[in-house]
Every structure is written in C-alpha cells, then in structure tokens.
Amino acid sequence: MQKRPINQSYITLLQQKKWLTWSLILLITVIWGYSWVLMKESLFYMGPFTFSAFRFGTGALTLFVILIMMRAPLPPKDQWKHLIMIGILQTSIVFLLTMYGLRFVDAGKSSVLLYSMPIFSSMFAARFLQEKLTKQKAVGLGIGLFGLITILGWDVLIVQDPLVIFGEGLIIIGAISWGVSNVYYRKNIKGLSQLQVTAYQMMFGTIGIILAALAMEAGDPVILNGHSMYIVLFTGVLASALCFTGWFILLSAVDMVTATISTLLVPVFGVLFSTILLGETLTIGIIIGSLFILAGIVIAQISVKKGDRE
C-alpha cells in the first residue's frame, strides 16, 4: 500500500503514542465545539452561505500559503477528481446544509445531529472498506440511530415546528455526506499528505459554496466588524484549516470507528458552550437522544478495543 509521504512520520508517532492521539482529538473537538457558538453568531452579520464562503476561503488560503512555503508539488492528475469529490461531499454539502439548518435549529442541538456522523461512517466503512462490523458494533450503531430518532421524534410530537424539523433534516443529510466523504477518502486518496488533501478539497468545496452564495444571497447585507472578522478567522484558520488537517491525519493513523468516535466529544462541548455563551436551553429530548447516541457509539467502540480490527 502506497504511503502518504509528508505526514507519515506523524501518523506513525500517533500510532505509537496513544496519549498524543487523544491530545489531538481533545484539541480538535474543543475547537469544533466552540465553533458552533461562532457559527450561530455569524448569522447576525451575514447570510449562512456567505459566511461559509468567507470561512472556507480563509481556511483554504491559509493552507495554500503553508503549502507554498513547504514547496509542496501539485497532486498527481489521477487524484484531482477524488479531491473535487471530497470537497463537494465534506465542505460544500456538509456546511451549506448545516449553516442553512442553523437558521432554524439551536447550535447545541445542531452539533448533536451533525456529529451523529460516526454512525454513518461506520456503516459505510463496513460496506465499502470491509472494516469488520461485529454484532456489538451493529447494536451500538442501532442504539445511536435510535438516539437520533428520539431527538427528531420528540420535536415532531412536542415542538411541532416544521422549520425546526426541516433544519434538523438538512443537518442529518450533512452528517451522512460527511460519513460518505470519510470512506471515500480512505478508499481513493493515495500518495498525498493530509495537508494537501485538506487544502485542495477545501478549495474545491469553497468554489461550490461561493456559487451557492452568489445564487442565493447576492445583494444581502454583510456586516464586517471586529467580532465578525474574529468569527471568520477563528473558524477559517483554526477550525477549518488546522483542525481538518488534523482530522485527516487521524483518519490515516487509526481505524474508521476509532477516528469517528472521537468526534462525539464535539457535541458535548457544543452543547456546553451554547448553553453558557448563547443561553440555549437543554430540552429533555436533546438530553435523552444525546445519551442514546453517546451510549451507542461507545458500545461500538468497545469492540474495537477487544481486538476486532482484523
């Protein structure tokens, strides 16, 4: 199997030093969790697609500056179509749907729904990567899906706001697209560093977002001040450029279930920060559904630790 040259030493180090792996996971998840607060606040200053264009445009520019400084070569021609596909799946679709859904759904609940992604990644990995889906993993994923249904079902019965339910549906479709992207990356990307993958997929994904912003939000007001620029820079440079690079490194260093299970910490921090900083209220539906999702993915993860990676 062809190795990814630039970051192979980092991958090996993470595989050997588990505490480094979990330190990276904690850093990424804290930043992503806090980003949900900023993503919600960005809607006060500009449209959701316009913000996403600023965010990922900034992230892509940051990464390409680094690649130029490293004198990294262009990706091989046979990899361009795969980078375009990942950009569409992971950047364009996920964040166009998520940001639009945030107009109707609280930030904390949105983070719970999007980071149900491990459920879908594990399913697709079992089907297309032949990663072993044991009975225990299947039970765990089933419990996680029940948690999603609990959140949505509770809103159908209690909230009964069609816009909220519509927004939740968009975010779940985004989670499915992210799961597909993870598997597509593992199956098709060869001979590229994670930094290259992140930069090029983000560039192609940003192009799709810009087109959507021009079509849907051309002429809409954009407020640029100190706080809105802070939001763009934090989510663009830290949450997008650096954290997604770290995410692709994790995908290469550990198995799919272990990598995706780590993202379960994001909604924990997302709900915490949203409650403290935005004053959002935790409903019983979110609490019960989140516990089911947490329990389901943890059950699926336990089987990995018992040697089910063969």
pLDDT tens-digit map of 279-292: 887 777 778 877 88
Token reading at 61: 């520019």
Token reading at 292: 């089911």
- Is 284 a member of any domain? yes
- Is 104 a member of any domain? yes
115-126 per-position pLDDT tens digit: 888 778 878 887
Distance (Å, whole) CA 250 – CA 192: 14
146-197 per-position pLDDT tens digit: 877 777 666 666 666 788 889 989 999 999 999 999 899 989 988 888 789 8
pLDDT of residue 139: 82
CA 98 from chain centre, in angstroms, equals 10
CB atoms within 10 A of CB 296: 25
215-260 per-position pLDDT tens digit: 999 989 999 999 999 999 999 999 988 888 887 777 666 665 566 6
Indicate the number of domains in the chain. Answer: 1
Q: What is the DSSP string of 20-63?
A: HHHHHHHHHHHHHHHHHHHHHHHTTTS-HHHHHHHHHHHHHHHH
pLDDT of residue 4: 42
Residue pair 282/271 in contact (Cβ under 8 Å)? The answer is yes
Residue pair 184/18 in contact (Cβ under 8 Å)? The answer is no
More confident residue, 131 or 270: 270
- Is 2 a member of any domain? no
- Is 6 a member of any domain? no
Structure pTM? 0.80
User: Which domain does 72 fall in, by range?
Assistant: 17-305
pLDDT of residue 307: 46
Query: In which residue are the tokens 């520019």 written?
Result: 61
Share of the chain above pLDDT 90, in %: 40
- Is 139 a member of any domain? yes
Note the residue count of the chain: 310
Token reading at 70: 């490293």
